[in-house]
């Protein structure tokens, strides 16, 4: 169970008592029954397959210049605990290689964990109509878990450029039902995992989404699992929390946009060191932090020599 924010977890414990470690009831998602992609395999666009990591290559047009190492390690820790909840999407380059379309951050986190196989959706080039039909067919199956269904809707939006109204016509469901399904993807990793494996119901998830704080959402998910709360019991708990003021929503501040000169600086440094070893944070008031991570004195010397040659 993740550490609650100061004042929040303490207030919840005061209301409902201490909670056993719910993580003991969780098992990682392994996609153990899915097909393993290999050089000769052919799969549909809607199935999740497991692809050897050496067959996957990054997208050369990836717009992100750097990946924050600390956040990558946090994601890697979540994947070690829960498994990869949202597979990456790749396309076939040839018979033995796949290129990442979306999910490079998840791919890097899996690589940090030393994973040999990566769950992925596979797309062929120029297959827009086939992809749409495959995803719609996938949604109409009865054995999809709530997160798989929500991810399918998001793929129709992002990859097939459908609106919620168009999706409703394709799959024969109400637009409000699709919107509620997509909201499930706003939950933190643990509640998403719990929905996927059946430890939480969609009814539980809707109640949890009524609380703004992600750490409190995880805390409530833990309590449902460990204490066997029904949806009605969870609703009563949330009402008590809100009445006590324990779950006062945090004020979210939008991150300031990075000035062009700062982006150029990060891009320049990324030419000399691995991209995920350079991170730049900007406060919007002219202050910030530039971080270049290294693993040896030799790396520092080589970087210094390169910069001196450029000058």
- The residues annotated with a catalytic role in the active site are 104
Name 109's Cβ contacts closer than 8 Å, sequence gap at least 6. 72, 73, 75, 76, 79
Helix (H, G, I), strand (E, B) or coil at 23: helix
The single-letter DSSP state of residue 14 is H
Residue spans of beta strands (DSSP E) within the chain: 48-52, 56-57, 88-92, 98-102, 117-123, 278-282, 288-292
Largest CA distance in the chain: 68
Whole-angstrom distance, CA of residue 190 vs CA of residue 81: 9
Q: Rounded to the nearest 10 degrees, how much is the dihedral formed by the CA atoms of 264, 266, 270, 275? A: -130
> For 166-184, b where at least 16 C-beta lie within 10 A, e where not — what string?
ebbebbebeeeebebbbeb
- CA angle 176/31/130 to nearest 5° reads 55
Instruction: Determine the distance from the C-alpha atom of residue 283 to the mean position of all C-alpha atoms in its chain, rounded to a whole number.
Output: 25
Helix (H, G, I), strand (E, B) or coil at 212: coil
Kindly list the distances between the CA atom of residue 267 and the CA atoms of 66, 159, 261, in Å, as whole numbers in the listed order: 8, 28, 10
């Amino acid at each position: 169970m993740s550490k609650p924010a100061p004042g929040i977890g303490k207030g919840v414990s005061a209301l409902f008592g201490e909670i056993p470690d719910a993580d003991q009831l969780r098992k990682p998602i392994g996609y153990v029954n899915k097909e393993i992609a290999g050089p000769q395999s052919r799969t549909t666009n809607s199935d999740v397959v497991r692809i050897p990591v050496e067959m996957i290559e990054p997208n050369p047009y990836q717009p992100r210049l750097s990946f924050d190492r600390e956040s990558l390690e946090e994601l890697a820790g979540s994947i070690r605990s829960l498994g990869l909840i949202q597979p990456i999407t790749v396309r076939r380059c040839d018979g033995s290689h796949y290129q990442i379309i979306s999910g490079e951050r998840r791919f890097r986190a899996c690589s940090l964990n030393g994973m040999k196989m990566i769950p992925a959706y596979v797309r062929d080039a120029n297959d827009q109509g086939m992809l749409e039909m495959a995803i719609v067919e996938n949604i109409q199956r009865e054995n999809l878990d709530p997160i798989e269904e929500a991810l399918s809707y998001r793929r129709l939006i992002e990859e097939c450029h459908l609106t919620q109204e168009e999706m409703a016509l394709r799959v024969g469901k109400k637009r409000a039902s699709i919107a509620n399904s997509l909201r499930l993807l706003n939950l933190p990793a643990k509640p998403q995992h719990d929905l996927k494996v059946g430890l939480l119901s969609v009814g539980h998830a809707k109640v949890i989404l009524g609380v703004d704080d992600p750490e409190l959402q995880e805390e409530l998910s833990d309590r449902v699992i460990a204490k066997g709360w029904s949806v009605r019991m969870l609703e009563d708990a949330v009402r008590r929390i809100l009445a006590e003021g324990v779950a006062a929503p945090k004020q979210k501040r939008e991150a300031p946009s990075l000035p062009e000169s700062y982006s150029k600086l990060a891009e320049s440094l990324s030419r000399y060191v691995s991209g995920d070893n350079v991170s730049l944070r900007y406060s919007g008031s002219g202050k910030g932090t530039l971080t270049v991570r290294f693993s040896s004195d030799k790396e520092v010397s080589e970087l210094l020599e390169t910069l001196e040659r450029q000058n």
